[in-house]
Homo-oligomer: A and B are copies of this chain.
Amino acid sequence: METLSTSKSHGGSQGVYRHNSKTTNCTMTFAVFIPQQAKHGPCPVLWYLSGLTCSHANVMDKGEYRRAAARHGLIIVCADTSPRGPDVPDDAENWQFGSGAGFFLDAVQQPWAKNYQMYSYITEELPELIFRNFPADRSRQGIYGHSMGGHGALTIALKNPDTFKSCSAFAPIVHPSTADWSRTAFSRFLGEDKSRWDEYDACNLVENGHRFYEFLIDQGSADGFLEEGLRPWLFEDACKKANIPLTLRMQEGYDHSYNFISTFMGDHIDWHAKRLK
């Protein structure tokens, strides 16, 4: 692991790191905020997954998470959203597929399968790297994300309730297997066997018996992707039927941007901190 930069922030340290991933077969970059409480022992760790087109940097620059994370003594890991590089196949014409759009799944179709293994990367390789290199407490992990990263957070939490104790999302894609902007990616990454698609669809996972402790979701009412791409009411229905507690807050007038995310970032971090302490 190579340190690209570190910079003091809110008493802790915001770093950017790079490593050669065996899972995605390329160089991966990620950001980690370490609060000053880590001097005194391992801290809970909160994983943030970003949306389409984003890298680790968007939330690091615009997410405004450090103030609240510093107050609670939380480590924040900001992962990338896909493999990248000259040797990684991509579709440069399509922002909803390929580079910046890995959908946190393990592709089985070629040529994508060699690199697009973001589910395994986020749940296996990156955690091992984090626990080896940072004072992070493996027994206290939460996960959250935005849009495609909200989809990632919900599906990863539902499949790994022993690993993650808390999960929340900003404007998540809750039913990607039927949404216009994600169906193409599912088809190209996973092929036409729809049982594979179910494994990466929060609504279908709940319907198929997966459970989690509870969820918090914030959704802006002025979000241009709300009706076609996001549709949080579908997840609300699924959770209701499955008796999974879900707090879904429709936030009047907010859009899909980091102005929305950063407004409610403090609430989400408070919420996770309460459950990870």
Interface residues of A, Cβ cutoff 8 Å to B: 7-11, 14, 61-62, 64, 66-67, 220, 222, 253-255, 257-260, 262-263, 266
Residues in B with CB closer than 8 Å to A8 are 220, 222, 253-255, 259-260, 263
Residues in B with CB closer than 8 Å to A10 are 262-263
Asked whether, in the complex, the Cβ of B67 is within 8 Å of the Cβ of A7, the reply is no
CB-CB nearest in chain B for A221? B8
Q: CA separation between A254 and B11, bound complex, in Å?
A: 9
Residues in B with CB closer than 8 Å to A257 are 7
Nearest Cβ on chain B to A25's Cβ, whole angstroms? 32
Q: CA separation between A263 and B66, bound complex, in Å?
A: 8
With A67-B266, A266-B67 as known contacts, state yes or no: A7 contacts B259, CB within 8 Å. Answer: yes
Q: CA separation between A259 and B34, bound complex, in Å?
A: 13
Nearest Cβ on chain B to A1's Cβ, whole angstroms? 21
The 8 Å CB contact of A61, one of B61, B222, B260, is: B61
CB-CB nearest in chain B for A252? B8
CB-CB nearest in chain B for A65? B64
Question: How many copies, total?
Answer: 2
What would be 27 A-B contacts, judged by CB atoms less than 8 Å apart?
A: A7-B255, A7-B257, A7-B259, A7-B260, A8-B220, A8-B222, A8-B253, A8-B254, A8-B255, A8-B259, A8-B260, A8-B263, A9-B259, A9-B260, A9-B262, A9-B263, A10-B262, A10-B263, A11-B263, A61-B61, A61-B62, A64-B64, A66-B259, A66-B263, A67-B67, A67-B263, A67-B266
Q: CA separation between A62 and B14, bound complex, in Å?
A: 13
Residues in B with CB closer than 8 Å to A263 are 8-11, 66-67
Residues in B with CB closer than 8 Å to A266 are 67
Q: CA separation between A222 and B9, bound complex, in Å?
A: 12
Q: CA separation between A166 and B32, bound complex, in Å?
A: 36
Residues in B with CB closer than 8 Å to A262 are 9-10, 64, 66-67
Asked whether, in the complex, the Cβ of A259 is within 8 Å of the Cβ of B14, the reply is yes
Nearest Cβ on chain B to A69's Cβ, whole angstroms? 12
Nearest Cβ on chain B to A35's Cβ, whole angstroms? 12
Q: CA separation between A274 and B57, bound complex, in Å?
A: 34
Residues in B with CB closer than 8 Å to A62 are 61-62
Looking at A8, A10, A67, the one whose CB has the most chain B CB atoms below 10 A away is A8
9 additional A-B residue pairs with CB within 8 Å, beyond A10-B262, A62-B62? A7-B260, A8-B222, A10-B263, A61-B61, A61-B258, A64-B64, A67-B67, A67-B263, A67-B266
Residues in B with CB closer than 8 Å to A9 are 259-260, 262-263
